[in-house]
Chains A and B, each alone.
Chain A
Amino acid sequence: MNRLRTLLASAVVGTLLAGPVIGTMAQDATPAADHSDIEIAYVLHGLNAFTERIKTGAEDAGRDYGVTVEVFGDASFDTPTHQAFFDAAMQRGFDGIAVIPLPGDQWITPIQQATDAGIPLVGANITALETALTAWVGQDEYNSGVILGGQMIDQLEKAGVTEGKVAVGICSAAATALQDRDHGLRKAFEGSNYEVLPTQEVLIPVPDNYGRWENVMAANPDAVAAVGLCSIDIPNLAQLKERTGGAWLVGGYDLDPPTLQAIKDGWAAVTVGQQEYLQGYLPVRALAEHLINGTPMVEGWLEGPTEVVTIDNVDAYVSRQTDNQVQYDYYQEYMDENFADLQASARPYDDLAHPGMPRATPTP
């Protein structure tokens, strides 16, 4: 009996002592083990509200995987400046680099140099098909235009408007990603009774963008809709519509808080989002998994499906886009469902070279 009591007592004590050890190990699993000696650079294409969410995604991934992440970007959106950041990242010996190559054809040499030096790379947001990149994260820009165009037609028909002119604005005429959006938008309107007007350049700085839209809509007083291809357009169009009492519908891109507010207030009809948080998180995650585990680098296209936001579902997006914790929690669940295994989730990289291909992108 005494031996049994001793045995039981030892078992209890042992369990009590083991508990904290097990708990500590469990805590070590989240946050991740320390891999801070692994350094990953993320070279953005600029600095604004949109890239800030990419940066947040990248930094969250860094924290989750215990690696050191440094994000580079300049508000100028100037290519030589960002190429200099990329060069500096190579010079400083970062173990992996994620990059937004704007524009893709000017990044052939820097990316080749990094590839030759054996530095693993992942591209995001802007395609660079002429470069040596073999992994890319982002949305199908062409298809996003098709989706947006389809949504605009739906909204116009709901409003009882079955024909008329649609004004289109592009904030940077030379950006190929925006051109792809434009082509997709026009594809959606093909065969309809709507006339999509030639695209006008409306610039990036807010006052200039507003002034340009003011002129475009003054030139087309009978337009039934205005579509902006950049994130700054919807807030300005919403203000313009409010001030002028315009009856035209407003559509555009991205889920910036002022854009979501414009939809909530009824000034804008629809916006499409490209899940830029994933464009920050997934490249860092891909690099971290490769560098930590020694597994082959992911190859292919990690597609972030285009999201559609209208008055019917805007509330669900408002908290996600304004609260980093809500955003983090949402995407952790999202990635568990859709990107549990990055390589298995990846589409062939060559799919990026064929705009207009039928897509499996789900429309919410």
Chain B
Amino acid sequence: MSATEILEVLRHTGTIVLVSIGMLFYLAGSIGLLRFPDRLSRLHSLTKADNVGLGFIVAGLLLQVGSLAVAAKLILIWLLALLAAATSGSLLARSGPPQTAATPEGDQR
């Protein structure tokens, strides 16, 4: 195979691998949302899915775009989602009732 064909195969394989890893994070986040016992743990799993999972999916898609502008927009989407997920996760964790005595000491936030 020529060099360009090898690069093509590598590119597509990289996309598949990165997007699959991202989907694994999303799956883990969803399972954590359903199975974790309290609010803070669920938020913990959700924010992992949002930040890292989306990052991997965006990285996988970056290999597929042709223009720099679209790549920049994809990265901007990921950064904005990071901001929103981090802030809303923190706000959600602070709102609502404080944890019961069953939680470990020092776990105030």
Q: Are A and B genuine complex partners?
A: no
Tell me the B residues contacting A by CB distance below 8 Å. Answer: none
